[in-house]
Amino acid sequence: MTVLYFAWLRQRVGAGAETVSPPPEVTTVGALMDWLAARSPGHAAAFADRGRIRAAVNQEHVKPDAPVRAGDEVAFFPPVTGG
Amino acid sequence: MSVRVQSEPFDPGAALAAFTAEAVGAGAVVSFTGHVRDEGGRLTALTLEHYPGMTEREIARWVETARERWPLIAVQVIHRTGRLTPGEPIVFVAAASAHRAAAFEAASFLIDLLKTQAPFWKLEEGAEGARWVEAREADDAAAQRWR
């Protein structure tokens, strides 16, 4: 699946996008965050404060219990500040 | 086009004139333009990051919701991305209807929902460096009142 990072998450991870293949037990957005956080110190820093992170799957806002599947586009970002 | 997310600057006056010319039959045209504030001289630039694809989809979703909820003749949202300086227009929202209540409410609804749903993130530059703007509870409250 493709994972995208925006704003300070992107800065902490050190990349705006990556392709990942999590193990089959990673079936939700929340579980994916746990799995990604272990990839590097930068990832851990990005995911340290879950309250400040929002997610989208296939370009739709979702909650942490939303499912993720192979082939999905999952994005992590801070609460939005447009307008 | 109803929804434009662009890196090019836009002129709100020209946008309103073009919108009004297209909104044939509208008795009421309401618009909102948001500008970069200089925060008392502290801010030197504002960079708007976005999520290409999702940003346009989200704005289009809320435009469609506004069309379903109010009798609108025309709606438009223009939003900048990239690096802006104080005073520059960031966002333009316009709504046209036969009568003013729908136009006022739809324009207000759209900017409130855009601020809480559309994937943009603001990076402020100032004398002490750059910092990411935090989302405001007041914006969440404004969006909630439309439920």
**Sheet architecture: strand order including B28-35:** B3-6, B72-80, B89-97, B28-35
Whether pTM exceeds 0.90: yes
The answer to whether A59 contacts B120, with C-beta atoms less than 8 Å apart, is no
Query: Cβ of A17 under 8 Å from any chain B Cβ?
Result: no
Reported ipTM: the value is: 0.95
Whole-angstrom distance, CA of residue A21 vs CA of residue B25: 55
Could you give the maximum distance between any two Cα atoms of chain B, in Å? 51
The answer to whether B116 contacts A80, with C-beta atoms less than 8 Å apart, is yes
The shortest CB-CB distance from B54 to any of A8, A59, A78 is to A59
Question: Looking at chain B, how many residues does it have?
Answer: 147
Write the pLDDT tens digit of every residue in B110-123: 999 999 999 999 99
Write the pLDDT tens digit of every residue in B27-66: 999 999 999 999 899 999 999 999 999 999 999 999 999 9
Write the pLDDT tens digit of every residue in B91-109: 999 999 999 999 999 999 9
- What is the DSSP secondary-structure string of A16-61? SEEE----TT--BHHHHHHHHHTS-HHHHHHTS-GGG-EEEETTEE
- Which of A4, A76, A81 is the mutation pick for testing B, counting most B CBs within 10 A? A81
